[in-house]
Amino acid sequence: MAMVALIPVKPLARVKSRLAGALDDKARARLIQDTLRHTILAIRESGLLETVFVLTRDRLVAAWAEDWGAHVVWERCAGLNRSLEIGRRHVLMQRRGLTRLLVAPADLGWLHAEDVTGMTALLPADGPAVVVAPDRHDQGTNALLLQPPAVIPFCFGAGSAHAHADQARARGAQVFCYHSSSTSLDVDEPADLSLYCAAPYVW
């Protein structure tokens, strides 16, 4: 099965704004640099994906991504879901015959290669299916695995874990939920940052 990953990254000037009270601009940029590197390397280490694509409009982020072996898709519009839809179309044009798409945010600082393996193992051999890895509050989507790649529209935002599952069921796709401590943490809030800094999950 041909599979690639797509990782969206905001411009560094806007990244992790909810952590502004805990980290200054440079520290937030360093944080996303660390977590993006970790996310890319964990996905690549799984050995299951042909390519990792990073979706961004930030030239420094693009340079980092290329240094870590990812390909860059230039973001051309505002809004995460709209940008992901355009990014998905670009990836599908670049990789004919693609059967699976993994979408993950850039801030999964605990992600492991085993998570990619575990999510992939839930998919049936054929037929439409969606694997949702929710955040630690069981509300947001911290990773999304799609078979085929355009089986549902993107619904990232408040309550997206449930929205993605509902979209899948409405389209006759099987839905699977993947839970692990290493996919449950995305570093958005000060409480998330405290957990991330205290964790043993480092390269």
Give mean pLDDT, residues 138-154.
97
Q: Which residue has the higher pLDDT, 130 or 181?
A: 130
pTM of the model: 0.90
Name the burial class of residue 81, with classes exposed (0-12), middle (13-18) and buried (19+) by CB atoms within 10 angstroms of its CB: middle
SS3 132: strand
Q: Span 122-146, mean pLDDT?
A: 96
Token reading at 93: 């044009």
Q: Is 3-198 a CATH 3.90.550.10 domain? A: yes
pLDDT: which is higher, 55 or 24: 55
- Nearest residue to 160 (alpha-carbon basis) of 107, 77, 79, 81: 81
- Write down the mean pLDDT value for the chain: 89
Task: Place 96 in a pLDDT band, splitting at 50, 70 and 90.
Answer: confident
Residues contacting residue 120 through CB under 8 Å, at least 6 positions apart: 3, 46, 48, 100, 131, 145
Q: Which of 26-35, 76-85, 146-155 is least confident?
A: 26-35
pLDDT above 50: residue 183: yes
Q: How large is the average pLDDT for residues 80-94? A: 95
Q: What's the confidence (pLDDT) of residue 203?
A: 37
Beta strands 141-147; 3-8: pairing state? unpaired
- Would the pLDDT of 110 be above 70? yes
96 versus 83: the higher-pLDDT residue is 83
Token code pair at residue 174 = 């099987």
Rounded to whole angstroms, the Cα distance separating 198 from 161 reads 26
Asked if the model's pLDDT at residue 73 lies above 60, the reply is yes
Q: What pLDDT is attached to residue 76?
A: 84
For the CA atoms of the chain, what is the radius of gyration? 16
Average pLDDT value for residue range 175-196: 80
Residue 18: pLDDT over 80: no
What one-character-per-residue DSSP string does 3-18 give? EEEEEE---GGGTTGG
Buried b (16+ CB within 10 A) or exposed e, 156-170: beeebbbbbbebbee
Residue with tokens 């996303």: 32
Of the chain, the percentage scoring pLDDT greater than 70 comes to 87
Residue 20 confidence (pLDDT) above 60? no
29 vs 70, which has greater pLDDT? Answer: 70
Evaluate whether 178 touches 119 at the Cβ level (below 8 Å).
yes
- The confidence band for 143, taking pLDDT boundaries of 50, 70 and 90, is very high
Q: How far apart are the C-alpha atoms of 46 and 150, rounded to whole Å?
A: 23
